[in-house]
Amino acid sequence: MPKVALVTGATSGIGLAITRALAGLGHQVFIGARTADNVTETVKSLQKEGFDVDGTACDVREPGDIRGFVQAAVDRYGLVDILVNNAGRPGGGTTADIPDELWHDVIATNLNSVFLMTREVLTTGGMRDKKSGRIINIASTAGKQGVVLGAPYSASKHGVVGFTKALGNELAPTGITVNAVCPGYVETPMAQGVRQRYATAYNTTEDAILQKFNAKIPLGRYSTPEEVAGLVGYLVSDTAASITSQALNVCGGLGNF
């Protein structure tokens, strides 16, 4: 029986792969992203592939947008069974030089949004009343260890992991599971931007940064968005019912923690 899934940041990279994976399992997927045109184009493309997908623009930094997004999903498909908090942004630099605006925007996008969206899905989305559900937060291996020149990002993702563990324990008696998926280096448009910023910071080339990053990964390569989505697909399954309050890595062995 199809379930209703919400995915944020769903028009590219990991979010798009997750959307395709969940829709491929037969679920009805309602997607959101900041740019309305991108949402429209993604929905049309996925519908052409035969998937039951719809969506609307949503800036996850804005509580009003979040309320409207969840209500639109309920109006379209019904009460929510699955929430994937994927929307996020990078951010960092030399910490002493980071402006207030950058810090606050990274925290608002990556951490505050996870709380606000989850609360809205539990209430307006009806998950709390269903006594079952799956909440999956896309964190990062940077949520388990510090990242040089990435203090805002690392702090936000540590917050996501802590929120996941606390809420997972809180909701465990209800049948709702809460887990974090922690990608390492994943080949996405965001990853390319990160490499460019590191190349600038270290006065080197993007290719040199890529080689340096690959050398740190025991598997010797970046993970793919589809590999991250595969773990999400498992976590929403019935056989994952006893997995909750966990932060699970998809990182090619980069992090053994």
Q: Given pLDDT bands bounded at 50, 70 and 90, which one contains residue 235?
A: very high
- pLDDT greater than 90 at residue 257: no
Q: What is the pLDDT of residue 55?
A: 98
Percent of the chain with pLDDT over 90: 88
**190 pLDDT exceeds 90?**
no
CATH of 4-185+224-250, one of 3.40.50.300, 3.40.50.720, 3.40.50.460, 3.20.20.70: 3.40.50.720
How buried is residue 103: exposed, middle or buried, by Cβ count under 10 Å (0-12/13-18/19+)? middle
- Residue 168 contacts residue 179 (beta carbons within 8 Å): yes
CB 18 within 8 A of CB 232: yes
Q: What is the mean pLDDT of the chain?
A: 96
Count Cβ neighbours within 10 Å for each residue of 31-42 and write b for 16 or more, e otherwise: bbbbeeebbeeb
Q: Average pLDDT for residues 29-34, to the nearest whole number?
A: 98
| Beta carbons of 10 and 38 less than 8 angstroms apart | no
Residue of 77, 153, 185, 198 marked active site: 153
Lowest mean pLDDT among 37-41, 144-148, 167-171, 206-210: 206-210
Rounded mean pLDDT, 146-151 = 95
Percent of the chain at pLDDT above 70? 100
Please write the tens of the pLDDT for every residue from 78-119: 999 999 999 999 999 999 999 999 999 999 999 999 999 999
Residue 198 has pLDDT above 90, yes or no: no
- What is the band of 223 on the pLDDT scale with cuts at 50, 70, 90? very high
Better pLDDT: 74 or 209: 74
More confident residue, 201 or 21: 21
Q: How far is it, in rounded angstroms, from Cα 90 to Cα 152?
A: 8
Helix (H, G, I), strand (E, B) or coil at 48: helix
| pLDDT reading at 131 higher than 90 | no
pLDDT tens figures, 46-90: 999 999 999 999 999 999 999 999 999 999 999 999 999 999 999
Cβ-based neighbours of 189, under 8 Å, separated by 6 or more: 12, 13
202 among known catalytic residues: no
For the chain, what are the domain ranges?
A: 4-185+224-250, 187-222
